[in-house]
Structures are given as C-alpha cells and as structure tokens.
Amino acid sequence: MDNTAAWAGLLRVHAALVPVLDQELQAAHGLPLTWYDVLLELNSAKDRQLTMGELGAKAVVSRSRSSRVVDELTRAGLVERVANPADGRSAFARITAAGRARLRAAAPTYLAGIEAHFTSRMTPAEARTVAAALEKVLKG
C-alpha cells in the first residue's frame, strides 16, 4: 500500500460514514452531525464556551460554516452568544442547558454509530494504530 492509498482510504471512509452518522442522529434526535460536533466542542471547552475563532479551529465544520451552525443552534435554543469582556469585537458561543441535554440524549446514538460503522470493523490494536497515526498527522 502506498502513501496515496492511505490518503484515499481516509477520504473514502470519511465520505461514506459522515452521511450515515448524520442520518442516524437526525432520525433519532433531529440533530444534524454538524450541530452535534459544535455542541460537543462547546460542552468540553472551559466554561463550556469558545470564541467563534476557537470554535472554527476545533470543530470539524469549516470556520465560515461554524458561524452559521452557531446561528442555527442559537435559534434552536441550544447555544447562546455571550459578549467577550476581554474583546468587544468578539463573542463567545456558549452551550445552554437545553444544548447539554440534547447532546447527552444524542451521545449514545453517536457512539453506537461509531462502533457499528467504524471501530467494529477493526481490532482494538488496529483502532489504536489508526488513532495514533491520525494524531501524529494532526500534531504535524
């Protein structure tokens, strides 16, 4: 297997699994995968909030898309925008109690989807190898 095969495999797996996980979350919880991802990042952040720049850097969605997702989540009552006292030009996106409840309710579906469609197809050692290799790529 050459280097381009590893890259092509990553792209194919991503393209195949993201729509499946999105469909499962929407069917069970009315929650798109992009919403789940943003809620997950906000929930795990310090004070459960991030600036839009921080969120764009952490979330799987693009920086420009993250702002639209936050707008959608705000209209749904799952996120609120809060003024940034350190920088009047920016605001925090903060997960609300309703957002945390939706995230908790959807988590079992999300985790079951990862297990069913991804990790169940490899041994635990293979999963550790994949995780370690991808982490090395992210760290540069």
Give CA torsion, residues 78, 81, 85, 88, to 10 deg.
160
Query: CA-CA distance, 41 to 60, in Å (whole number)?
Result: 9
Which tokens is 127 given?
């999963």
Count CB-CB contacts under 10 A for residue 48. 18
pLDDT tens digit sequence for 28-41: 999 999 999 999 99
Sheet holding 91-95, edge to edge: 49-51, 91-95, 79-83
User: What pLDDT, in 10s, does the model give residues 84-102?
Assistant: 888 878 889 999 999 999 9
The pTM assigned to this predicted structure is 0.90
What pairing do the DSSP bridges indicate for beta strands 79-83 and 49-51? unpaired
CA distance 140 to 134: 10
